[in-house]
A and B are shown apart, each in its own frame.
Chain A
Amino acid sequence: MNKVMIFDQGNPVCMQLLGKARSLFGEEAEYVMVSVRRHHNVALETMENAIREEKPELVLIGATALGEEVAPALGVRLGTGVAAHCVDINISDEGNLAFMVPAFGGKVIGEIFVPAAGDDRPAIATVKPGTFEDYEGECRVIDVDEQIEKGLLSPGEKKQGAFRMAGIEPRKHTAGRLAKAQLVFCGGFGIGSPENWQKIERLAEKFGGAAGCTRPVVDMGWGPDEDSMIGTSGISVKPKVYVGFGISGAAHHVCGIRDADVIISINNDRNAEVFAASDYAGVFDAEAVIDALLGEEEK
């Protein structure tokens, strides 16, 4: 490996990527970070130019809303392959890079190889924030934002087409908090009602944790949106303790909690698949246990 480029979009994931890359390639490789904290058309143009100029062999991009828009687009523009949402990156016995990507909700992990195809056709990989350890270190930075501010570069807008940004609205979101939480209370379809989702949120508040849910709770419209959804298509959590209520154990959810230290599951279905992926299995009515936990606290 001679050069690794990392997209710094203003999310801590870029440092995690740098750390992972350093652990794989050591000091033999050169690392360069392209810092551009702008929306996707500018970011895309900038990254494309930077890759063509710097000719890295590998480009790592955080799989955020922005990264997911930039990475696959770069793939087509540069005529190269993109490995999505890698859970790990390995160097195979033959010395090739093997990107480990989840499929079927994480039930299956597939190896993906992106054979180098030429100078400006690097392998591109995206990685969800939190997949790799936080890292502190430095590397060369191409600060595009600064260049734009100094007027050295004009933000490329050529593919923005007829759609312009008409507004930015901050949102109340729990995604970041959930991903970092040391304690997670999670509700599944078995909680049965919007009221019980609120109780899960109250539990999180009382015990100092974060509240998460599974896909059906979002789909049923019981309150939370996809930011609170734990799983491969939502947030991956790695708390010290995870307590799940009324969760069946679908692959895409279980894969999102695999890094929890302790998993406690409450479900009245003795055969719930989640029990096989839990440290502690409690065959109880979810609502009754939630109430008991809240009750004790409120006393």
Chain B
Amino acid sequence: MRIIVLVKPVPDPEKYNELRIDPETKRLVREGVQTVINPTDKNALEAALVLRDGRIAAGEDSSVTVLSMAPEFSRDKLVECLAMGADDAYMLSDVAFGGADTYATSYVLAEGVKKIAAEKGENFDLILAGNESADGATAHVPVQLAEWLGITHISRVCSLEAEGETLRAVKRSEDVLLTFEGEGQAVFAVTRDINKPRFISAMGIVKARKKPLSIWTNEELGLDESAIGLEGSPTQPGRLITPELGRAGRPLLADEDATAEDAAKAIRALLGKEGF
């Protein structure tokens, strides 16, 4: 089983409170906010590694390939994926890809998937991705990638199991759990509760040294510039604003020595006022 995992380097979601908009340039200032692997993508990678190892234990050949469209400076995030256990990695990196919305991004990724298949001389069986990225959080890319490739997509997958050749994916919707079964190519977008991603070990980091990591620019992909990047994006960004979330934040109790009991009384009083 050949598995491709989509990975996106994003600004550390723990630090979104530190982001601000420069009043002059109106651009996002992300100074001091580190880049990390999108958390849910780590769950996708974990799910892929478990599937792969299951196949290998059953005596089959299986591999996990990581694919990312990202600026070259985040190359080390792909090395992290290799250290976690992926077998190889491909990075699609070109200024021409920049400014893309989900439509143009998923197009470039789909072309990347096709080129990987061509390069390896064998098609993939399964593509896994995090259901959404922490930064944009549209949840579009896995679905749109599947559409470009003309294959099944199932998102919000909270459980994924293999039984022989059959894959069983459970999609969590608002009021039901939908179980899908089948074989053949598909894109599954997983949620964070599907598993707990493994730690990266020192052995993994050392092994990652020898694993192939290819960086492809548009020279390798050869895509029409009008179909990629900002130009290939059917949506166009406008202004950025930071919503005003501030409130008075007045002390619940004026008395500095108030106890938890006093606090509970004050809360009950406020609840009472609203009719609870």
Which residues from chain A sit less than 8 Å from chain B, CB to CB? 11, 39, 64-66, 68-69, 71-73, 75-77, 79-85, 92, 98, 101-115, 117, 121, 159-171, 173, 175-176, 182-183, 207-209, 218-219, 225-226, 232-233, 240-241, 243, 249-252, 254-255, 258, 261-264, 266, 273, 275-285, 288-289, 291-293, 295-296
Contacts and interface: CB of A to CB of B under 8 A. Distances in A.
21 contacts: A72-B147, A73-B144, A76-B148, A81-B233, A104-B19, A107-B19, A161-B182, A162-B184, A164-B181, A164-B182, A183-B271, A183-B274, A226-B191, A226-B193, A249-B17, A250-B17, A258-B243, A264-B267, A281-B249, A281-B251, A288-B259
Contact of A291 (B148, B154, B260, B270): B260
A39 B155 CA distance: 12
A182 B274 CA distance: 10
B192 interface: yes
Contact of A167 (B14, B179, B193): B179
Nearest to A243: B267
Contacts of A85: 137-138
| A-B complex: 8 closest residue pairs judged by Cβ atoms | A111-B238, A81-B234, A162-B184, A292-B264, A288-B260, A163-B182, A65-B173, A81-B235
Nearest to B173: A65
A72 B138 contact: yes
B140 A72 contact: yes
Contact of A219 (B146, B192, B250): B192
Nearest to B152: A161
A159 B152 contact: yes
B156 interface: yes
A75 B234 contact: yes
A292 B179 contact: no
B178 A293 contact: no
Interface stretch (B70-78, B164-172, B213-221): B164-172
Classify chain B's interface size.
35 or more
Given A105-B16, A162-B182, A170-B176, 12 more contacts: A72-B141, A76-B106, A77-B147, A79-B234, A105-B137, A115-B234, A160-B152, A161-B184, A164-B181, A218-B192, A255-B243, A278-B249
Contact of B154 (A115, A163, A171, A266): A163
Nearest to A286: B260
Contact of B251 (A117, A232, A273, A282): A282
A279 to B, nearest CB: 5
B246 A276 contact: yes
Q: Interface residues of B: mostly helix, strand, loop or mixed?
A: mixed
A250 B135 CA distance: 13
B100 to A, nearest CB: 12
A65 to B, nearest CB: 3
A73 B147 contact: yes
Interface of B: 11, 13-14, 16-17, 19, 21, 28, 101-103, 106, 132, 134-141, 143-144, 146-148, 150-156, 167-169, 171-186, 191-193, 233-243, 245-253, 258-261, 263-268, 270-271, 274-276
A79, A84, A107, A167 pick with most chain B CB within 10 angstroms: A107
A84 B137 contact: yes
A165 B179 contact: yes
A294 B248 CA distance: 27
A97 B154 CA distance: 30
